[in-house]
Structure 1
Amino acid sequence: MSASASSVFSSAAGPVGPRERWALRLLQAALFLLPALLLSTPWGLGPFALLALLAFALKPSAFARGWREVGRETRWLLAMALLAAAVVLFSKFHFDVRWREADNRLRLLTAPFFAVLVYAWRPSRRWLWLGALAGLAGAFALALYQVGTGTERALGWTANAIVFADALIALIVLAVFARPPGELLWTALACALGVGAVVLSGSRGVWPALAIVLLVALVVSGGRARKLSWAVLAALILMMAASHWIAPLAQQIRLTELVSDMDRVKRGGDHESSLGARMTLLELAGDSFAEHPLAGVGVGRFETVVMATPQCAPPAPRIGFCKLGHSHNDAFEWAATMGLPGLLAILAIYLVPLALFARLLPAQTHGRARSSALGGLVLVLVYIACGLTQSMFAHQLIASFYAVAVGVLYGFALLERESGPQ
């Protein structure tokens, strides 16, 4: 057994036993499966949650000891989750909304649990990195198969191309910033596959998030890692430029469509396009917030605002537009559906973890460019960027992954503050 594991369980109670060893193995397997199965299988986060809970059940006293040691460090994370839960539950009961609409947002309550679990058991972060590599490779293979067999845009197992692309960027963050020393080649290859899967998804809103990952990597990395970041950035610029002459590539990344949509909106106020529909949704969300500033229209009930528009009235409703159930923007979604409390809650959901990771970052003395605190900070920035064009917490997969990943990375960041990467 590793020295780190022995340090966890060495106590007056006696030597390390088989239950402790099995618990650590289960948690490390869970960390591998967390990103590995997220997009390339229909099971999502299920296997991770099952193994993590089994690890907890095998030695709950270790978790209790970890809580006593760093429970105070997680109080702001817990306060953020409780604030969001209070706002969501009030909206759910006030408007008699289905539980499934509140469920995605309530999963934030798991973030402090996973932070303490990682801190208490001290697993190796390498398992998280390996899982991210496997997850990116699997997602690319599945995306290639789907597009090759006639699917217009790769979806993975998410049934939503935008969600698929958002989750891919989150996996790239784990691959880049959970990387052990000397593992640059495999990381670069996996990230290239991830970018390829993003292209196959046809999602445009994730490119600013990918730019954030590259820019941070350029700023904090040195040596070969920085050179590689420049090479990747150059390759992406060349790909964008080539899309103007290579028709299949232009069609897949939908840049030509974006330019066309912008022209249509500018010339005639045409809101029938994808871009126009999003602008209409933001206008509807803003109007809803102005009309219901205190409580909104109810969590998960933005579709009622959409269905009340003239575009969705008989005899000729806009079929595609009327199926949109959220505003495609985090701040507008939470404000429109839960009013001012909702707006404050979504700000806390992003800004509190951002501040916690930023506070821990100067304490990283080993491999700062690959630290968990930096990875957590970039993950939050990526979610903020993706949240400009998507309602991130309207989808179970990426909402759950945010809660779990923030908790796991915060637990690792607390460990690294004490003794460096595990």
Structure 2
Amino acid sequence: RYVTDFIPIIIFGQMALLLGIFSILSISWNKTSNRYIIFLKITALCSGLYVAYLSQSRGVWLTIPIFILLGIVVTKNVSSRYKFGVISVFFALLVGVSYFGNIVKDRVAVAETDISQYSVGSDVDTSLGIRLQLWRASWMLFTEHPLIGVGVEGFSKELHNLAKRKVITPLSATFAHSHNEILFTMSRFGVFGLLAILGLYFIPAYYFIREIRDDDPEVRYTAAMGAALTIGFFTLGLVDVVFLWWEVYPFYSISIALLLTYIIKRKDIIFKQRSDLSSHHLSSAS
């Protein structure tokens, strides 16, 4: 699963899923008569969901409810009955995949076993057990070095020190990161790192979310894409270190720049159209 010559599978799964979400949201921009484009975009969504399924990444799966919620919010011009029908079909599909698909059942079963073993202390070096140890270790490093953290090069060294102190196991101390973006950044860079990583997520998210109920569908759906990007990566970052991979930086920053630029340009066009219409009415009245 983790052997790849392209990019890490969890990053590939999230990017493919996001591009599928972008495709389905952008259907609002097309004329309903353009059925071929709509079919292509629905296919893109299905492809993204299938990649997410094959990735076996529970973190990627965790972002899907976020995208569903965003879809419900931005489709304010769609009747509640129709939305309920679509959501019901989608959830029925997810339940069917979870029931009949071995990948989902196996990953859920492994998670339940890992948590059970960790809680009783019989085996703490499972996949989730190591994550829980690293989260605890990262929090301890932050509380011990709250201002500037342990530094970029100090994380691995401090993990081995925690292993010597019997806080974590020697196996956990061999990992390069803590499988949590926020805790990893806090432990390495302290409170300044915390402010930086939260700003990286929520400053662009603020600008997208405030436009998510706009009356213009193009603005609304573009804002939903941006919210899906920022909140999706934040959610995934709760269980992995997303920005450890260089492929994420251009994808994240260029997508934000592109979507914000579109919103700004679109609102300028709307403002100009309204101003011209208002001027026309005044001229007619006079």
- Category of TM-score, reference length = shorter chain: 0.7 to 0.9
Partner of 1:232: 90
Identity %: 24
Q: Which runs of 5+ in 2 are unaligned?
A: 271-286
1:273 and 2:126 are equivalent in the alignment: yes
Structure 1 residue 207: Cα displacement = 1.4
- Measured in 1, the distance between the counterparts of 2:263 and 2:4 equals 32
From the superposition, tell whether residues 402 and 312 of structure 1 become closer, same or farther in structure 2 (CA, over 3 Å): farther
- Measured in 1, the distance between the counterparts of 2:116 and 2:153 equals 32
Give 1:415's aligned amino acid.
K
1:209 pairs, out of 63, 75, 87, with 63
- Measured in 2, the distance between the counterparts of 1:170 and 1:242 equals 25
- Measured in 1, the distance between the counterparts of 2:139 and 2:103 equals 37
Q: Secondary structure at the match of 1:389?
A: coil
2:152 pairs, out of 299, 320, 325, with 299
- 1:306–1:312 Cα contact (<8 Å) kept: no
Q: Secondary structure at the match of 1:396?
A: coil
- 1:392–1:399 Cα contact (<8 Å) kept: no
- Measured in 2, the distance between the counterparts of 1:157 and 1:230 equals 36
Give 2:159's aligned amino acid.
V
Judge which range, 209-218 or 340-349, deviates more.
209-218
- Measured in 1, the distance between the counterparts of 2:266 and 2:164 equals 54
1:192 and 2:50 are equivalent in the alignment: no
Number of positions where the alignment pairs a residue of Structure 1 with one of Structure 2? 258
1:258 and 2:107 are equivalent in the alignment: no
1:170 pairs, out of 7, 18, 27, with 18
- Measured in 2, the distance between the counterparts of 1:277 and 1:384 equals 21
From the superposition, tell whether residues 175 and 306 of structure 1 become closer, same or farther in structure 2 (CA, over 3 Å): farther
- Measured in 1, the distance between the counterparts of 2:268 and 2:5 equals 39
Partner of 2:273: none
Structure 1 residue 235: Cα displacement = 0.6
Structure 1 residue 219: Cα displacement = 3.5
Structure 1 residue 377: Cα displacement = 1.5
Give 1:376's aligned amino acid.
G
Any runs of at least 4 consecutive aligned residues in structure 1 with deviations exceeding 4 A, and if so which?
A: 153-156
Q: TM (normalized to structure 1)? A: 0.55
Partner of 2:251: 401
- 1:265–1:271 Cα contact (<8 Å) kept: yes
From the superposition, tell whether residues 412 and 300 of structure 1 become closer, same or farther in structure 2 (CA, over 3 Å): farther
Q: Secondary structure at the match of 2:203?
A: helix
- Measured in 2, the distance between the counterparts of 1:345 and 1:295 equals 12
- 2:219–2:267 Cα contact (<8 Å) kept: no
Q: TM (normalized to structure 2)? A: 0.79
